[in-house]
């Protein structure tokens, strides 16, 4: 007599939830973006751009080392970690909307945590650097955003099926996708802000470091493996408005962005609820 199939419970046949921790973070960077009015035109304001660069370099030489002038106003520096190999990174740039500050925190190429030379907390670096920019380019600040980008290394666990099958709850919003995008309004702040999340399964190329005889610096050699990861981008930004932001409102955006620190992000990924 044929046996009846045993019905699957709702959880059977579903991909197991990956669990994330601080140790899984292989990449981490922080970006501060500012919308200003009127726009900066680097090609027409070269002397202002040069003076701004000199003042930024004097304030934070480890962050603002090399100027790219002309039609593009960008500043870069090079960073290292435990690998002792230095890699270039653009730390400042100007786009049609305004200035953008980008700082590396952790990376595979750096060998882990980036050596930021005992700099102050990055919010402080941003505020003091923005003050220098606005002193050279008198403008109205119309909007401020903070973005944290992470890559969590999950080894041989592909996060694609998990993202595709799980409904991720963030506040009152639900979504299902192998590449997730979500934005919702903050309701607990004194003026309107929004939070955005983007998540996607990625493949990570792992690299090997080697020592060459007679050279005290380790060298990056060819990639030697492929692993999986979860790329997660979290952003908080002030909403569009007619009036410029005041100093205490810019500070409020930075304070609210602390809900996007690594520990809170991990809590969200594991529980799908950021409190």
* Predicted local distance difference test score (pLDDT) of residue 275: 53
Q: Among 7-16, 87-96, 172-181, whose mean pLDDT is lowest?
A: 7-16
Give the alpha-carbon dihedral of 118, 121, 123, 128, to 10 degrees.
Answer: -50
Cβ atoms of 65 and 56 closer than 8 Å? no
* Residue 78, pLDDT above cutoff 80: yes
* Predicted local distance difference test score (pLDDT) of residue 74: 95
Q: How many Å apart are CA 91 and CA 114, to the nearest integer?
A: 13
Specify the residue for token string 């995008």: 181
pLDDT tens-digit readout, 97-130: 999 999 999 988 787 889 887 788 999 999 999 9
- Supply φ then ψ for residue 172, to 5 degrees: -100, 10
Q: How many Å apart are CA 249 and CA 252, to the nearest integer?
A: 5
Where in the chain are the domains?
A: 39-138, 144-275
């Amino acid at each position: 007599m044929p046996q009846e199939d045993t019905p699957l419970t709702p959880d059977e046949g579903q991909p197991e939830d990956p669990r994330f921790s601080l140790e899984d973070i292989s990449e981490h960077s922080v970006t501060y973006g500012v919308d200003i009015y009127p726009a900066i035109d680097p090609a027409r304001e070269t002397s202002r751009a040069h003076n701004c660069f000199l003042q930024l370099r004097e304030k934070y030489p480890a962050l603002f080392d090399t100027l790219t002038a002309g039609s593009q106003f960008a500043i870069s520096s090079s960073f290292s970690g435990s690998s002792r190999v230095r890699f270039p990174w653009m730390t400042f740039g100007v786009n049609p909307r305004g200035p953008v500050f980008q700082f590396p925190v952790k990376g595979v190429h750096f060998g882990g945590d980036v050596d930021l030379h005992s700099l102050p907390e990055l919010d402080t670096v941003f505020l003091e650097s923005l003050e220098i920019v606005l002193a050279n380019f008198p403008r109205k600040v119309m909007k401020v955003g903070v973005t944290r980008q992470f890559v969590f290394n999950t080894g041989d666990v592909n996060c694609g099926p998990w993202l595709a099958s799980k409904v991720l709850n963030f506040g009152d919003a639900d979504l299902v996708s192998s590449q997730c995008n979500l934005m919702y309004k903050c309701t607990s702040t004194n003026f309107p802000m929004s939070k955005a999340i983007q998540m996607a399964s990625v493949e990570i190329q792992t690299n090997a470091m080697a020592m060459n005889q007679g050279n005290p610096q380790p060298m990056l050699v060819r990639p030697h493996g492929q692993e999986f990861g979860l790329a997660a981008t979290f952003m908080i930004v002030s909403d569009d408005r007619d009036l410029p932001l005041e100093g205490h409102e810019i500070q409020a955006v930075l304070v609210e962005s602390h809900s996007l620190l690594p520990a809170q992000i991990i809590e969200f990924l594991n529980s799908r609820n950021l409190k």
